[in-house]
Structure 1
């Protein structure tokens, strides 16, 4: 099994009601698998937010969601930010 520390920011945090949680995934799970699990776990509100999010895996931007998530890694979920 793979343990992943998931940190939520901005709208994702609001949709989940948490700033952080640990998710246990099967070994070999991908970022896409994790995103699917989070949507299932937290429902439609988060699922909608996730479609616009970018993801960091251990601080590195994820360009390909088919990349495997290593055990004890961290994934940051970053919705688009408004600003100027």
Structure 2
């Protein structure tokens, strides 16, 4: 019996503050999570300085979370 290996699909979540989340589709499996963040920062500028957490496996998906801004405001 041959063993079949499948990569888990990825999901990206932009989290800005408590209760404010946006699920983003994976624009390409060849992109690193940092490249995905840069891709979406063109539409959501707040992601340009966001941190990347994960992956955490949830519901059969690799979930990466873009969290807040890195640094101090003001």
TM-score (norm 2): 0.52
1:54 to 51, 56, 60: 51
Segments of 5+ residues of structure 1 without an aligned counterpart are 60-71
For residue 52 of structure 1, report the CA deviation from its aligned partner.
2.4
> In angstroms, what is the RMSD of aligned CA positions?
3.1
For residue 22 of structure 1, report the CA deviation from its aligned partner.
4.2
> Where is the helix percentage greater, Structure 1 or Structure 2?
1
Structure exhibiting the larger radius of gyration computed from Cα positions: 2
2:37 to 17, 32, 35: 35
Greater relative contact order (CA < 8 Å, ≥ 6 in sequence): 1
Matched positions, count:
59
Segments of 5+ residues of structure 2 without an aligned counterpart are 1-7
